[in-house]
Structure 1
């Protein structure tokens, strides 16, 4: 039997990764809440984005990328596991 609690811990803190995901969305000019409300993104795909972020192992690089951004044109880091989804949702 799989230990789901241990597996969840190994993925990383869900709240940290949710924050990172939403910060990258902001840098991309994407409103995730609006995308869900309008049907551009369904709840399962949103959950998959968070889970892939948690398992990617790039949270430090992501946080540094976010902190280095100073506005400018919308962008998504290439190492982001959700980059393809963000690019589809970008205005």
Structure 2
């Protein structure tokens, strides 16, 4: 049987990555809660976004990207593992 607890240890801190994911969503001009209510983002897809963020290993780059933003133009970092989802929701 697969030990799910041991597998989760290799992922980044869930609270840090939830914060990063929501901060990138804000930078993209995407309201994740609204997108879920509207049916444009499923709960499963949201969970996959969080998991991809946790496993990507780019949290420092992401935090730097967020802190370096100087304008309000919607944007998503190209290195984001779920940039495709954000770009789809930005339209």
Which category of TM-score, normalised to the shorter sequence, fits these structures?
Answer: over 0.9
Q: Give 2:43's aligned residue.
A: 43
TM (normalized to structure 1)?
0.95
What are structure 2's unaligned runs of at least 5 residues? Answer: none
CA distance in 1, matches of 2:90, 2:17: 20
What RMSD over aligned residues (CA atoms) do the two structures have, in Å? 0.9
Post-superposition, which runs of at least 4 consecutive aligned residues in structure 1 deviate over 6 A? none
What are structure 1's unaligned runs of at least 5 residues? Answer: none
What is the aligned length?
A: 91
Q: Give 2:30's aligned residue.
A: 30
TM (normalized to structure 2)?
0.95
